[in-house]
Structure 1
């Protein structure tokens, strides 16, 4: 699992946050709406909704937006009914790509995702063609600058949480847990140990990665960006890897 944070950190440094803040909020609202629609509208009784709200707050989404999404799910909105779909395909050089989407029009989204793959040198595959290469984890990231104890002590603290794995980079600690333990571990870190988290989310992590170089990096980045820009796409996961210095050239 080592190297997960590299692409994530590059995303944050691309300087697109301000320009796409509205798009991010729209996608988070949709995620909250779906979680509330599928379960109890009270976060205290709905684990998926609590996680969606925590994710939204980590992006500084206003409480009004969060409450509006929940009210919409309770029948006070336009009645949209979203379904969750996972698309699978291949990018340049055979990179495996998973696309998580929430859509109210399956045919429209499938056509758009297929076009994005084709336009950027990839191809949309059949269900199951690449998902076997990934494992679903709850992933918690903690910036080292937010931690007052030394690295060895922090590593022992994280190991006491019984994670599936941990990763230590120059900038952060990455904790991998089973998805059903994400909220529990998040609570322990925040409430018991008073540690500020950079992010906590359920993600698809590749078992192995494909290292690419040169122009292929730009092609893969362009495909990821095109897919992420689509309103129905919630997340994109790949088994792509490259040297950070090379990624920076195209970011």
Structure 2
């Protein structure tokens, strides 16, 4: 879920219980294997989709052995392996929030039916293509456990677009194509990177509180729990107490 604080997003995912963590790992493994097959290579150096999938998996603490095994299985898979397709869906949640969903599926009819059912049950509505996508922009986001001027200078020098300070460190925004250049430069300079991955950032946020905030969180988590759903983003600005 994008919006308000990327630090909150990362921490919430890392704090998931064992059942949700297992499901989350499975989604990352599927994304890695799909990236290998679509990119035609198990080498992230020559397969940007795979590199992005690996970065996202590592951000959610998927063990390196699991990642390596997923790549090996995908490289060795022949005909008959599941053919997954990247699809996106858009909708609306409580409080007038916009929701953007990325999914990876081998059965589009099943996926859209599952997503529509969650929206209908949880107080939201599934929109048409383009209904809310214009409110989000794909960006690289790096979370850095350092707020020094030197770290900011290195990031800007290598392509960072925006830098926000938080209590935990820096939130660095980059064009998707410059994410790894900035990340590698920071790592080479000795800075500790909490996370670096491609995400969707809302152009504007909507403040959501009280009952609407609770309903929205239930809706977003129900969408995230669907097997085919990889990522769920919203433009909600949720206060920390919510």
Structure 2 residue matching 1:113: 3-state secondary structure:
helix
In the other structure, the counterpart of 1:33 is 33
Deviation of residue 159 (structure 1)? 2.5
In the other structure, the counterpart of 1:140 is 142
Which stretch shows the higher mean deviation, 199-208 or 160-169? 160-169
Return the TM-score normalized by structure 2. 0.90
Q: 1:241 aligns with which of 226, 237, 240?
A: 237
**Cα distance in 2 between the residues matched to 1:121 and 1:98:** 16
In the other structure, the counterpart of 1:218 is 214
Q: Is the 8 A contact 1:138 1:176 kept in 2?
A: yes
Return the TM-score normalized by structure 1. 0.87
In the other structure, the counterpart of 1:90 is 92
In the other structure, the counterpart of 1:59 is 60
Q: Which has the higher contact order (CA 8 A, sep 6+)?
A: 2
- After superposition, the C-alpha distances for 1:172-209 in whole angstroms (9 at most, x for unaligned) are 2111111111122111111x212221111111100000
| Structure 1 portions without partners, runs of 5+ | none
**Cα distance in 1 between the residues matched to 2:171 and 2:91:** 27
Does the alignment pair 1:117 with 2:119? yes
Q: Is the 8 A contact 2:3 2:237 kept in 1?
A: no
Which stretch shows the higher mean deviation, 32-41 or 214-223? 32-41
Deviation of residue 7 (structure 1)? 4.4
**Cα distance in 2 between the residues matched to 1:181 and 1:131:** 22
**Cα distance in 1 between the residues matched to 2:129 and 2:26:** 27
Does the alignment pair 1:43 with 2:39? no
Q: Is the 8 A contact 1:4 1:205 kept in 2?
A: no
CA RMSD in angstroms, aligned pairs only: 2.1
In the other structure, the counterpart of 2:109 is 107
**Cα distance in 1 between the residues matched to 2:59 and 2:198:** 14
In the other structure, the counterpart of 2:200 is 204
Q: Mark the CA change 1:115 to 1:90 in structure 2 (over 3 Å): closer, same or farther.
A: same
Q: 2:151 aligns with which of 144, 150, 154?
A: 154
Equivalences, count: 239
Deviation of residue 93 (structure 1)? 2.0
Does the alignment pair 1:24 with 2:24? yes
Q: Is the 8 A contact 1:134 1:205 kept in 2?
A: yes
Deviation of residue 160 (structure 1)? 2.4
